Chain A
C-alpha cells in the first residue's frame, strides 16, 4: 500500500533528492515507511549521480574456502563443521592451486579466500598458504574477514594489527567485509553469540584501513533485526568510512535459513531486499559502490536492483559454499552477468577490487 506520508518522511525524500546526508531518524523513516517506488527512484538517481556512465561492473573472482572447521557455531550458518566432525576439511596447497588454475583459465584475477575459525591452525599456516599462492600465481588475494583475524589473534595471543601486518607481508591484499552480519550487539547475541562484537568488527576494519589495506563492508539481514537496526548498521559503516575512507563497496544480502539453527525463521524474498538496498544507497553517501546479491536474489531481481541503486554485479564466485549450504541459491557466469547488464540497458565492465577497469 502506498504508505502514509509524514513531515519527517517528506524531509527525508527532499534531502535524498538533493543528495544531502540523511540523519539516522530520516534513514529509519525511509526504511520503515518510504514508498517503494520513490525509494528506488531516489536510489537510482543517487547511483547515477555517483556513477554517471551507463556502466555496471563485475569481477571475475573465485570463492575459496580453506576450511569449514569452526568453533564459533553461528546459528545462521550451515557451512561450518565442529572440529572432529567427519566432514571437516582443510584445503591442501595442491587443491588450492588447482582451484586458482581453473580461475586463471577463465580469466579470473582475484580469489576470495575465507574459512571457518579452525582451533589449531597457527598464523604461520595462513602465512604459508598466502606465500604459496603469491609464489605461484599472479592473483589478487581478497581474504579472511574481521572474525577470522580476531580468531587468529586469539590463537597467537598477539594484537590484531600484528596479524594483519604479517598476513599482508605474506600476500594478503585486501579484506572482505564478511562477518559484519548485523552490526548491532542485541542482534549478534541472538544469531552469533560467540562471534566478533560490533565494536571489534569495526576496530579490525579501522586497523586494516590504518595500515593501508582496503576492505569491503557487508550486511546480512532478514533474521532477528528490525528495519531500524539495519539503519544503525549503515550508520556504523558510514561513520567509520568518514574516518578512514577504506571501504571500497557495500554488499547486502538476505539471510538464508534452511539447514541452519534458525531454520524456523521466515525467509525474506525480494520486496524488502530492494527497499533495503535503496535505503543503503541513499544512506551510505560515502561508500562508492553497492553490489547486487544475485546469489540470494537470483538474476531477475539483480537486474531490477540495477534500476534501484545498485551499480555492481559482484563476483562470478565460480563456487559458493557458504550461503548455498543454507538453501536455494543461484549461479551466474561472466557471460550471464554481462547478458543481464546489457539487457537492462547498461554496459558491462570488468573491474578489480579497487573498482578500476580491467581488460576482459
Chain B
C-alpha cells in the first residue's frame, strides 16, 4: 500500500503500476524524470531495489588501469584525452601496467577495470598481451576491460569482425566489458558532443556480440550535459530492449557529467537531485537488469550513500587510482579503504557485502586464497 504522503503525488499512478509489476513506458519514464517529488520517486525505486536485492549493498576490491589517455577522438565532455606528443599524454607498456598493479598482489583484489583512450597506434597484440600478462600475474582477479568504443576500434583497425575480436580478447583473459562509451545514444546528442566516436548502433553490436560469447557487460549513461529527458528515457529503454534479447547486462550505471577542463564546462554540474533521480528512474525502467550502481568516485561518497536509498544496490569499489573523472575536476579521493566503504553502507542502514566482479559474495575463505 502506498503511504498517505505519496497518495497525492503526481506519480502516484506510476508507483501503483510499478508495485503491480507492470512494465513502465517511455511516457512513464519522462514523467518520472520530470516529477518534483524526489521522495516519492525514491520510495518507488527503493521498493524495486529491495524486492530484487533485499537490504544488501555491494562493493568490491578493484583497481583501475588507465593504460593510456592518448585518443584519436576529442569528445567535448572529456577532460581525460590528449593527442600524441601533447603535454600530459601517457602510454604504458605492458611491463608498466604490471608494475602499476604489482603492489596489490595478495590484497584480495577481485577486479581490474581497464579503459583508455582510443589509441591510434597501439597494435591489437598489445591489448592481448596486456590481458595475458595480467592473468598470468593475477589469476584470481577478473578483468573488466575496454569499452565498446575501444572494441569497435580494434575491429576497425584489424579488419576482424566483432565476434572474432571479442573471442581473441576473451581467450587472452577478458572476463567482462565495462559499460562506458554509451554516453547518450541519441544521434542528435552524439553528433554534437562526440560525433567521431562509434555510434549507438555500433555500441549495441559490441555488447550483443559480447553477450553471445557469454561475456557479461555493464551499461552506462552520461547525463547532465545537453541531453533531453526524452533522450535519457530512450537511452534506458534501448538498454532494456537489448537485455530482453540477451540477458547479458549485469549492472546499469548512470554517470554524472563533470564540468571541468573540457569544452562543455560552461554547463555547470548536474545537481544532487539529478543524481538521485537518474538512479531511481534507471531502477524503475530497467526491470530486467539486476543491479544499479552508484559510482561513488563520480557522485561523491555522500550522494552515493543516499543513492543506496534511491534504487542503487552497488557503490563500486576501493579503486585507488582514477584519472578520467579526476581530470574532469572530481574532488573525491581516488580510492577508499574497505572499512570506510563498509561504514558508509552500514550508516545508510544497508548490509555491506563484498562481491566479486560477477556479484558473487566473497567469503572469508576465498579472501585468504586471493
Contacts and interface: CB of A to CB of B under 8 A. Distances in A.
Task: Tell me whether A and B are bound partners.
Answer: yes
Interface of A: 1-3, 13-14, 17, 35-38, 40-42, 44-45, 266, 268-272, 274, 297-304, 306-308, 339-340, 343-345
Contact of A17 (B4, B46, B47, B343): B4
Interface of B: 3-6, 9, 36-40, 42-43, 46-47, 50, 54-55, 268-269, 271-276, 299-303, 305-306, 308-309, 343-344, 347-350
Contacts of B347: 266, 268-269, 271-272
A274 B306 contact: yes
A164 to B, nearest CB: 38
Contacts of B268: 339, 343
B39 A308 contact: yes
Contacts of B269: 299-300
Contact of B300 (A266, A298, A307): A298
Contact of A344 (B271, B300, B309): B271
B42 A37 contact: yes
Contact of A304 (B36, B40, B276): B276
Contacts of B39: 37-38, 40-41, 44, 307-308
A303 B47 CA distance: 24
A307 B273 contact: yes
A300 B303 contact: yes
A301 B37 contact: no
Nearest to A308: B39
B271 A340 contact: yes
Contact of B305 (A14, A41, A269): A269
B145 to A, nearest CB: 30
A120 to B, nearest CB: 41
A190 to B, nearest CB: 20
Most buried by B among A1, A266, A300: A300
Given A1-B350, A301-B306, A304-B306, 11 more contacts: A1-B54, A1-B349, A17-B4, A38-B39, A41-B9, A41-B39, A41-B40, A271-B308, A271-B348, A272-B347, A297-B302
Contacts of B47: 2
B272 A303 contact: yes
A36 B3 CA distance: 12
Contacts of A13: 3-5
Contact of B275 (A35, A300, A308): A300
A329 to B, nearest CB: 11
A17 B47 CA distance: 21
9 contacts: A1-B55, A13-B3, A36-B309, A37-B46, A44-B39, A269-B302, A269-B305, A300-B272, A300-B303
B5 A343 contact: no
A60 to B, nearest CB: 20
A330 to B, nearest CB: 9
Contacts of B275: 300
The 6 closest A-B pairs by CB, nearest first: A300-B272, A41-B39, A270-B302, A37-B43, A40-B39, A1-B55
A54 B39 CA distance: 17
B306 A270 contact: yes
A40 B271 contact: no
Given A269-B301, A271-B305, A304 B4 contact: no
A311 to B, nearest CB: 15
Contacts of B3: 13, 35, 38, 41
A217 B119 CA distance: 58
B272 A299 contact: yes
A40 B42 contact: yes
Contacts of A266: 343, 347
A37 B303 contact: no
Given A35-B43, A301-B302, A17 B55 contact: no
A343 B343 CA distance: 31
